Each structure stands twice: as C-alpha cells, then as structure tokens.
Structure 1
C-alpha cells in the first residue's frame, strides 16, 4: 500500500501490544503517523480520545467542504483532503483480554469513521471469542492463513479449507470478499534478501551406464553465515518509498496521534506571553484537540495554587518555575516573590534573582513572622486603595489608578504541612502567624497577593486553607488512594513518570524548568545567567525581609519616638521600641542574658530622650555599673538608706512632674530581709503614685524569693524579660510568651511586656562612657 499510494492519500497507525517488533521497519515509512505499544489504561484513554478527535476534525472538514464522504472529497482534487487512516493491530486477541476497552473504542471509531477514511486491519491467531458480532458485521474483507483447526477456518471463511493448508508453505491463505466469494493466494514475502547479482544456475551431472545412474550436483558457493547480507527487501522498499516522498516534496502527514510529552522542557524556549497575568507552567497534553499547548498559572483567575507530590516528584522545581516565570514579565507589570522553605532547601537558589525579596527557612520564626505580617499589612493597605478606584484585580487598579509599577506579590511555601505544624499549633501569642497567613490567602487575590503552596499529600493542606485554593497541580503521589481523594485518575502518574510530570485540570502536564534539565546544578547555572540579564535590564530589587541583628548601637536609633525613650528594635517590623515613661518596670533574665548591659541602655535611652530627667541608681553593693556617669545620683550599700528616705519625702510631696525622675534598682530582690526593705517598698509605691518610672532589676530565679519588693513589679505587668524560659512570662508578669527556645535568644534578646502584651525585641548596646 505504501508503494502504491502517496502519504497524502494513505497513512498508517500501528498498534502492537507485544512491544512493536512486528512493525519495526514499517515505522520508518513516511506514511506512518504513530506506533502504539505497551498500552496502559491511561494510554488507552489517550489513544481513543485522539482518534475521536480525529473523527471530529474530519467531520467538520467534510461539512465545511460540503462532501458526504472522503471518497467524494478526493474526487474533487481538493488539496485539503486528509489521507485515509489505517489502524493496523497485531495480536488482537491479547488486546481483547488485556485492554478490552481499547478494542471496543477502536471498533466504535472504525464503525463511525468508515466514510471519513478510518479503517481497521486486525490480526489474531484464533478468532473464537475474540471477534464479536459488532466487529464481524463491519469486516467485509477476511483473510485466513493456515488455521489450527477446521472450526477456526469455518469461523472466518465459512469453509474448513484453511485448516488443510500445507504447513511447509508459509503464507498460503484464502481471502473472503463476500458470501461465497473465496479465493486462495500466496502471500508475498518481504523479509528476505534480494541480491543485485543473478543466482548461479543449477547444473545436474549424471553418469550414463547400465541401469539407473546416480545424479550429481555441483556444490554451490560457500556462504559465510556471519556475512552481512545488507538491507532486507522490506528495508529497501521503505528506503525507496521514503526517498520518493522526499523527491516529490510530499509534506509530512498530519498526525492524529501525538507522541507522549517529553521528559523535560526548557522554560526559556517555550512560547511565553511574558506577562504577570499568565505565568508559564509547562506543556500540557490535550488529546481532545490533538495538540500539546503550553499551560499557564493565571493568578487573577486561578487565585491560589497548590502543588502536591511525594519526594522526588518535582515540587520544589515547580515552585522555582513559577518564580522564574514571574521574572519574565516584560509585557506586564512587575512581580515580587517571597518564599518560605520548609523542605530541603530547594528554593534557596532563587535568592540570587532580584525580584525575589527573600527565601526564609521554615524554622526562622523571626523572619517568617515578619514576612507574613508584612504581607497582611500589604493586603489591608491595598484593599482600601483598590476600593477607592473600584478595582477588583491588580490589572484593573494599574489601569484605573495609572500605576503600572504596582507589583504583584507571590508567596511560595514549600512544605505547607510542616509550616502548618510549626505555626498553627505552636503560634506565638503576640502574632498568630498561621491565622495571618490564612487571611493573606483569603483576601489577597483581588489585590494582587497570591499564595502557592506545596504538600506531599492531600491532607497536608487544611480545610480552612483548601477553600481558598482554586487550582491544583498534582505530581506523582505516594499512594493510589491519594489520587482518589483528589478525584484524579490513579493510572496516569507512575513510579516511571519523570520529575515534573503532573495532572492539571484533568490533563497531563510536564512542568518546564529553566535549563531544560531536571539536574539541579543545571538549573542553578541557568538561574545565574537569568540574574545577569535581569540586572542588566534594570529590574528593581524586591524589598528584603531582614533579620533582627544581634548587636544594635544605641546611637544608631532615634532618641525618642512619640515622646518615649527608644531602647531597641522590635522583632516584627524592626521598628524602634519605646520604654514606658512611668510605673513599675521589671528587668529580668538569667546569667549571661545581658541584664546589666540593658540596665545601662535604659538609663542612657532616658537621658537621650529627656536630658533633664533625673536618673537615680540604687544597689545593695557596688558593681560594674554603679560608678558610671550615666546616673544623676547613685547609692550602694549603707548609703542607700538615707537616699531612700530623702526620695520618699520628695515623692510624697507631690512636687514631681510626670516622668521627671527614673529610679533604677539593681538586684532589687537582694534587699529582701535588709533594714531598708520596708522603706524601699514604700519608695517604689510612692514613685509609682507620682507617675515616675521605677526599674527593678534581678535574676529571673530570685523574684520568687522576694514578696513585698517583687509585688509592685509583678502586679504592674510591664517589664523586659531577657532570654526567658517558656513559663517566665506567666510566672513573673502574668503574660504568656508562647513557645520559646532559649537557643534563639542572643544576649539582649527578649520580650518587652506592656499592658499584658509581649513583643519580642533586641535591646541596643549602650554608648561608650
């Protein structure tokens, strides 16, 4: 058929369930549009979908050409006439037993497609139980080679003759073209070798004598069994037909059956609209339209995105692809990307890109909290601005407010299960991280803030968050039950699927990666090149998420903010922290926590904010700071009693203005049981009533040993707890601190408690004196 007809008139689709060896040479014919082997249930559906799509294509074409069938269209000589498609199936019986739905589907296609040029050629060893009535009714041409028994021959031909063909003559057969129309034939053999030289003639030699003579044969040439015989007849025919098609300029036939998706695609080489409204994901297999187009994540329409997959399936690579696509938005607005990596560090290489503000490790609670709070504040601030101009998306706001530089923000979380465990059930009371994250996920889409999370199983995403996720990218999962839980077919993705192979909206997809290779080193080098291009093009650096420094000079901070003395930086937003200007104030912490240094910092901060303030220092004994010039008045040991009596008289006189004096008592609990305990307690209470600030410093473990002196400071519920234990907040100031790891607290790091609310901070270092 290939030798008699051009590829624009006849094409072949081969189906060999045994592995494809039967059609090994025919695959190279220019007429061949596909070879189907090793059918799985998924490939069965894909094959039938493609063939049904081919039927629709031909139906629409004939309808447009006003032709009743393919033959009538061919007669018009229309160049758009599609070729006849012959579906050739070997080992049909194996298909019937192993993949029956494919057989039923192919027969259905052939029944509907006969007038459209779709035909079946089926081969099987035994027809009994294989050839069903609907198939038998639609097979007018039946060929029987030598059959195993008369029943099989009668089943095909209606006669037992095929069972009696000589076994020594392969290829002997009979063809039935209609009732009673049977003709025997000898099949031509194309698998042999034909020589360009004529065969040596046969010469028989016979002796003449009495009786019957003996015949002698001239021995033939010696043939080396290892000698290369060259191409077989079928290979030579294929080569000749292919050369003829090239010489005639016959275009390659349209393929109704596309090959499977490649194992990797280079993100930089795929068609890309380069806009932040459509971020390129990869290539999707769409047999319904017989195409493999690119697929996109559209934040304004899709909202949040979840990526599911087991280890090694390509979750981190998919998140990197979204980040890289967000970098290539020359025809849209800018995009800023932030990431929280709760996995194995697969997102760390994104830090090089200028549009990536930060990649925060999941256990860095300080920066995670600061990032989530920043995004929550952005959502709240944008909601008010967008409402003023009646904008429902960031694209509309850019147009209505003439603000094309308004950045879209994407938050990537690799390992949402670990993130949830870390910040939902162990959240800090001063800022509920997971609740704020859910608020961002819920309210962020209309204002251009989107969340993309990854998880290893469906249950890793909580129900409260799942309602905000409109799109799911499902990579290979660990268990078949997980596919069923997500309403996905369980036979599309297998252990043999390459990294990045996924399901998206019911279609198979291969996630593209920068560099076109699943190797992480290759992707890292490609990211470095991308960074150079972005910097050269002037892409602005996204605002970073900084860490709270371990060392802050007091001189680098403003003297006061809102009238209060600045003593350090807040952990949440790195803003200056102000000391209360009146009332009892506890300064506590274990050995090595930086209490003494903080005491000097508090005194210097008060003097910087209000140079006229009088800072009085009391201590049970002389220490490292008692002689510093930062104190207006200092008394230690036996000198404390007369100064306390003097200060009591002054405090009770009512002549002190608010905040005029600051009383600093170092090691206040050591005064317990001394001769000045009662008068010192009277002084503390008098100073508090006079609206003055009283700072009481002591080691955390000693506050429980002092009752009368500790009571005013504990009851005030204000203080600075450095390097605290988990229960110190409740014990000392009746304020919970949440989960605390002392290893995360360098000297000077602690909690400022004001009004029963705890704020993490770093106390500044005092200036040299």
Structure 2
C-alpha cells in the first residue's frame, strides 16, 4: 500500500445501488455491481471492486475457512439482486458448507439453493443448467451473435435472456465428493459450465480453498480474489508470489490476482455474525419480492422444488390436474412439484419394479385409487397378500382375483364384467403370472390389441421381471414405460427400457422413492404417495 493512502478499512459497509428502471425502459447492457473496494497505490486512488456480468466470465473466491468466502457470496447476491431485475439476473446456489447460502432463497432472483446432501436435486440443477447452456449455444449460433451481451442488444426487453449466476460455497467439498460420483458425471457437467458457460451468460462464482489453484479450474477465469490462506506456500499455487503474500489479513481482505491489488469485501451490516448477515439478506429479499412482483412467471428463474420423503395421496391428488380415465396418478416429482403418471391410451402398459418392501403395491394402490376416482373400471390380480385386496367390493372394481392359477375363461368373464367404458387390469406380483394360462390374454392387452380403452398396470420383483424375454411381460418391457423403486442392479433398467448409471443403483432402499420413465428417454426421480387409510391399517 502507498504511504500516501490510508489503510483500507477493516469494516466496509455495503452501499445498495439504485434500483433498476422498469423493464420496458432498461437498456440491454447491465450496470456493474460493487461488492468492495480495491487499493490502487500506483494511481494514488481507490476504485470500486465490481462484477460486470456483461464483460466478466466466472469469478473465483479463494481462501481458507473463516476468511470471508461465504460472506463474499452473500454480498454479491445482495448487490446483484438490488441492481438488477428478476427478469435480467437469475441466481442459483450450491451450498457445500453450513447453510450460509440458504438466505439467498429470499431473493426473487433465486431459483434454488441446493444442499450438498440433496444429491438428486443437485443433479437436476446441473441438468437444467447444462440444457440451458446447449439451448443458448443454439440460439447464438442461429443469430450469428458472439455472446449473450450482443444477443440481448438485438432482443426486445420482454424477450431478453437473463444472465444466470451459479454460486458454489466450499467448492473443495464439491470437488472431493463429486469427482468420482456417478462416474464423474456431476463434475463433468460443472466443468462444462466453467468451460463454455461464460459466453452464453452462465457465470459460475466458486468459493473454495487452494483446490481452485488446480489447472483443471484455474484456467477457467482470470478474475480471482484471494483471501487469507493458512499456509503461505499456498499463495503461489493460486497465482500470487509468496513474497507478495500478506502476513495475516483480516477476514474479507484479499488480493486481486489480475494486478496484485489489495481489496476489501463489503459486508451487509456492522454485525458480522452469520445470522445477522443472513437476516439482512432476508429483509432485502422481502423488499425485492415486492419490487419485482410485476415480473411474469415465465421471466423468473426456474424453480427446483425439494422432492419430499413422504407425501400423502390427498396432497398428491391436489397436484393431479391432468388426470383422466386412462391417466393414473403414480408419483409426484419434477422441478416444480406435480403429479406424474403414464397415459395408458398412448402406451397401454406401465410397470413398477423393485425389491420387496419398497412400495410397489402402494404405487399400484395409488394408481388404482386415482383411476377409480376418474370413473375407470378395474380388474385386480393380487395372488399374494396385498393392499390391493382392500378394493374388493368397491364401485368400479369388477373382481379381485387372488388365485395365480386363474383360468383364461374366468379372466375373460371378468373382462366382460367391467362396468365402465374404460378398463385397467392391475397386477400385483406380476412375476407369478409369467407363463400362466392367462399370459396370451395379458399379452394381447399389453400390445393394445383390445383398443385404447384398456390398459395394464403391473408390479413385481425387478430381478425376476428383468429375466423375462417372451410372453406378456416381454411385451410390457418392450413398451419401455414404468418406474423402478430403489434399483439394486444395472440390469433393472431393462424392465423400463433405460440404461442406468452406477450412481443410482445399489443404494439403501427408500420406500416410495423411484425413477420414472414415460418412454421419452428421461429418468425422473419421484416419490410415491401413501394412502392414509392403508398406513393406518398397517
């Protein structure tokens, strides 16, 4: 520091920038946001430390624990939210620490903050960002524009693509836990965002320790702020000569690697405790939510709802807005939580496969209840003890067959007794009917030979069903729709026509948690609702 400049302040309060103009009056270019100050002794001056989304790529915040990394992310989030509209900047967070980023969810700009233990939700976030990256590359290529800033200049205000900022706290934990997870697919998607995201307006702000000095990550940006590192030898690994390393910088004090200038990160209030800083961000979030209330839903960041561990049938039915006599409710899931299930008028079969006691029968019962509510007639095959036997005598249920040796004549008579225009055969423990006398009849139904008014719902042991190559179950597998509950082997994917990765198999069974495939090549993690009356009986 120059002797002609006073020392940088140890406490730098953040000054909120002016609110943005109404969307219709905003320029395509976004103003840079200040999140600290930088000392420029050669020029005998100080300048704001800024993040300019129109010109910047990614940003690395490097430091040891308790050096101010998380606070830097919170200050940046506050600055971006205050300066920009929720239709111009979308925020997402991956919190691999102790929840410092959770307060970001109060901002209307924030789509989701994902905890490191929410592996499935983290995968959805990376998938969503990867898909957005691909889509934006196609748009830029079709328009012949170099980057998002140039593209936004050619678009009307109501159609401009938003800048996306992904913040990752304690990146060293992410790197340690996800480098090898699922054959490295999570880390590969993160590397792709770092490699290709900046040009299409996807900016990654990584806060981590010396791991960011690795050649794998350090080359993705020149914009780095190095806070305190516990070992002075680590400074050289992140681009700062050891002789230029500070002796014992205070939290929030760092060095900008571009020019080795000293910088001080701003804080949101004089109380430096994490709780107080988070409370200020939450209060700001309430103010910004009111300010941004006119932003249409389509222009806001995409939500990534948490998939609940338990959901009742009544709650799931409230989400079932696209039901019908051939569209049963099977599970809930999706980025925005909704009901999911097959269209049996399109593909006449749906199979639920998994180990015992993972919720196969519960899934069938949920689907059966929703079909009965839609006025569909049912035939139930339940050769073993099953909650589906409780449907005996219900209006719309033609018969409940408990004998695995049922004859073809008895089965055809039951088909003729279905009281409704649409009929579905619900088969529990389906492996017991492979090669049975009614196999040809079930195969005809599975092929859709009885018309679009008939369908088959089946559930069974995944290992047994995966071995079937012929008969009615072979046709069910060829239809390539179904749900796997707690898959234990890669071969389980053959039952529903998908190829599984190692990251989703072999985990401890979690009743009702499954992978849904509706024939479109997309695997969705879902949760099967439980029927309250059934649980009370159990």
Q: TM-score range by the shorter chain?
A: 0.7 to 0.9
Number of the residue aligned with 2:406: 641
Number of the residue aligned with 2:437: 679
The correspondence of residues 243-282 of structure 1 with structure 2, limited to 5 A, is: 257-268=4-15, 276-282=30-36
Match for residue 289 of structure 1 among 43, 61, 65: 43
Could you tell me how far 1:579 is from its partner in structure 2?
1.9
CA distance in structure 2 between the aligned counterparts of 1:532 and 1:757, rounded to whole angstroms: 36
1:723 aligns with 2:486: yes
Number of the residue aligned with 1:361: 115
- Give per-residue Cα distances to partners, 1:668-727, cap 9 Å, x unaligned: 34568xxxx541444444444454744432355776999988963785465322234355
Could you tell me how far 1:427 is from its partner in structure 2?
3.2
Assess if the C-alpha contact under 8 Å between 1:391 and 1:400 holds in 2.
Answer: no
- Give per-residue Cα distances to partners, 1:442-481, cap 9 Å, x unaligned: 4433443311112211457662x54432412222224334
Q: Describe the shift of the 1:617–1:399 C-alpha distance in structure 2 as closer, same or farther (beyond 3 A).
A: same
Match for residue 469 of structure 1 among 211, 214, 221: 221
Number of the residue aligned with 1:318: 72
1:667 aligns with 2:437: no
1:418 aligns with 2:173: yes
Q: Describe the shift of the 1:461–1:763 C-alpha distance in structure 2 as closer, same or farther (beyond 3 A).
A: farther
Number of the residue aligned with 2:61: 307
1:343 aligns with 2:97: yes
- Give per-residue Cα distances to partners, 1:312-335, cap 9 Å, x unaligned: 211111111211210231699843
Match for residue 402 of structure 1 among 156, 159, 171: 156
Assess if the C-alpha contact under 8 Å between 1:304 and 1:469 holds in 2.
Answer: yes
Q: Describe the shift of the 1:621–1:461 C-alpha distance in structure 2 as closer, same or farther (beyond 3 A).
A: same
Assess if the C-alpha contact under 8 Å between 2:447 and 2:475 holds in 1.
Answer: no
CA distance in structure 2 between the aligned counterparts of 1:588 and 1:330, rounded to whole angstroms: 48
Assess if the C-alpha contact under 8 Å between 2:399 and 2:414 holds in 1.
Answer: no
Number of the residue aligned with 1:456: 209
Number of the residue aligned with 1:520: 274
Q: Describe the shift of the 1:461–1:299 C-alpha distance in structure 2 as closer, same or farther (beyond 3 A).
A: farther
Could you tell me how far 1:289 is from its partner in structure 2?
0.7
- Give per-residue Cα distances to partners, 1:550-579, cap 9 Å, x unaligned: 324235313459x85553334456465342
Number of the residue aligned with 1:698: 460
Assess if the C-alpha contact under 8 Å between 1:276 and 1:335 holds in 2.
Answer: no
TM-score (norm 2): 0.76
CA distance in structure 1 between the aligned counterparts of 2:493 and 2:80, rounded to whole angstroms: 46
Could you tell me how far 1:308 is from its partner in structure 2?
1.3
For structure 2, which runs of at least 5 residues remain unmatched after alignment?
Answer: 22-28, 416-420
Assess if the C-alpha contact under 8 Å between 1:557 and 1:568 holds in 2.
Answer: no
Match for residue 547 of structure 1 among 292, 306, 310: 306
Match for residue 738 of structure 1 among 496, 502, 513: 502
More RCO (CA 8 Å, sep 6+) = 2
TM-score (norm 1): 0.55
Match for residue 749 of structure 1 among 513, 523, 526: 513
CA distance in structure 2 between the aligned counterparts of 1:336 and 1:568, rounded to whole angstroms: 29
CA distance in structure 2 between the aligned counterparts of 1:706 and 1:332, rounded to whole angstroms: 52
Assess if the C-alpha contact under 8 Å between 2:93 and 2:112 holds in 1.
Answer: yes
- Which structure has the larger Rg? 1
Could you tell me how far 1:295 is from its partner in structure 2?
1.7
For the residue of structure 2 that corresponds to 1:477, the secondary structure is coil
Q: Describe the shift of the 1:481–1:364 C-alpha distance in structure 2 as closer, same or farther (beyond 3 A).
A: same
CA distance in structure 2 between the aligned counterparts of 1:354 and 1:286, rounded to whole angstroms: 35
1:589 aligns with 2:351: no
CA distance in structure 1 between the aligned counterparts of 2:203 and 2:426, rounded to whole angstroms: 50
For the residue of structure 1 that corresponds to 2:368, the secondary structure is helix
Number of the residue aligned with 1:135: none
What value does the CA root-mean-square deviation take over the aligned residues? Answer: 4.4
- Give per-residue Cα distances to partners, 1:87-144, cap 9 Å, x unaligned: xxxxxxxxxxxxxxxxxxxxxxxxxxxxxxxxxxxxxxxxxxxxxxxxxxxxxxxxxx
Number of the residue aligned with 1:148: none
Of 470-479 and 621-630, deviating more is 621-630
The count of residues paired between Structure 1 and Structure 2 equals 499
Assess if the C-alpha contact under 8 Å between 1:369 and 1:572 holds in 2.
Answer: no
